[in-house]
Structure 1
């Protein structure tokens, strides 16, 4: 950030200090990744498991319910979720993790359902004919074929939550949202730009990483 100080002086020429210094940016980055990572792990586990469960015969009756519950998470703005969670969970990291879990669930559930439902029925029939058990079919046929679509949902969920996690700074969860909130409170647009640029670069980097993983999955499926 210090290398770009002239740019930030141009953004906020009247400010005596234009570089956010209350915490190192690499520390804020680590906290940001921690919050997003924990929320992603829980959301992926719940979303993929729910998608698998309702695409089985025993759970098919619950498919509409799972879709509605997953959609419900995105009908509430993250700010509203935080406002409801703070009185129960207190200030800190936990409320923003809960908000990210609710907000990031829909893309994962939706893509898991789509990926599994689009697996060619003839392949499943052939696997049955080969004597494979339902669990073997799921692990060796359905999930590998559905993996690129599921990964696309995870990619969307994580990328959105990287930006949404900045709201955690409003409830005491220190992360890359700190410079943004501090800049808004103090009227220092240089702080806001620093936080926003860092979050944008992080989101683009993670999105590019997922794109590479998707290409590798597609190439493996094509080769097999």
Structure 2
């Protein structure tokens, strides 16, 4: 077993242990507090906040993946090539408007809570997935698609059996990037009453409690690293599959 894997497993074990029994780690955070402040966030369950944070992140990424991949497939078909500029403009919307601005615009329509945060993360995550999907689908070797056509495959069969499997590693790269961006950005959702780990950070900033800020930031960082590594491993697996 390689050392990097051991380290990642140790980080995962420590993260789970902290979320399940945070009071066991209070002694590490007490040097950061003052005036009798609590060392561990005590206004909600860390485990519950983490699950809610992950649920919002993965829901937004799933929605962004479906829409972005569908757009990429559309514009790489002969009948949809003319929609490429429009599709790219749509995918760029989230990058044009910062998530905070999207939240400000969405709250009057969707109200407070998870919905505006989900909308902001969805829009923000479109571009990486769209661009990677477009790159993956347009770089499939023409000889392979010609061979598939020569075997009598229909357009749908070529897409599902040849193009998408070959493009999958590149598409996953976009999904990985979008997921990590959404995971970090989701913390701002707590400003509009979404249940995310940003709640801990905001509470810490409001009360000048460095321990709260530290634990919220560390949980998000650990999740980002673990998810990034997990999706990278999945990407490498599919790259290996395409070469065999």
TM-score (structure 1 length as normaliser)? 0.97
Are the counterparts in 1 of residues 99 and 124 from structure 2 also a CA contact under 8 Å? yes
CA-CA distance at 1:15 after TM superposition? 4.1
- The partner residue of 1:41 within 62, 86, 89 is 62
Aligned to 2:30: 9
Is 1:157 the counterpart of 2:185 in the alignment?
Answer: no
CA-CA distance at 1:210 after TM superposition? 0.2
CA distance in 1 between counterparts of 2:232 and 2:170 reads 12
CA distance in 1 between counterparts of 2:188 and 2:175 reads 20
CA-CA distance at 1:111 after TM superposition? 0.3
CA distance in 2 between counterparts of 1:203 and 1:16 reads 28
- The partner residue of 1:137 within 147, 158, 168 is 158
Is 1:196 the counterpart of 2:211 in the alignment?
Answer: no
Aligned to 1:206: 227
CA distance in 2 between counterparts of 1:79 and 1:15 reads 34
CA distance in 1 between counterparts of 2:193 and 2:89 reads 31
Coordinate RMSD, CA, aligned: 1.0
Aligned to 1:25: 46
Are the counterparts in 2 of residues 15 and 188 from structure 1 also a CA contact under 8 Å? no
Query: Which structure 1 segments of 5+ residues have no match?
Result: none
CA distance in 1 between counterparts of 2:71 and 2:90 reads 11
CA distance in 2 between counterparts of 1:181 and 1:7 reads 21
Aligned to 1:182: 203
Divergent runs of 4+, >4 A: none
Aligned to 1:91: 112
Query: SS where residue 23 of structure 1 aligns?
Result: coil
CA-CA distance at 1:129 after TM superposition? 1.0
Query: Which structure 2 segments of 5+ residues have no match?
Result: 1-21
Aligned to 1:77: 98
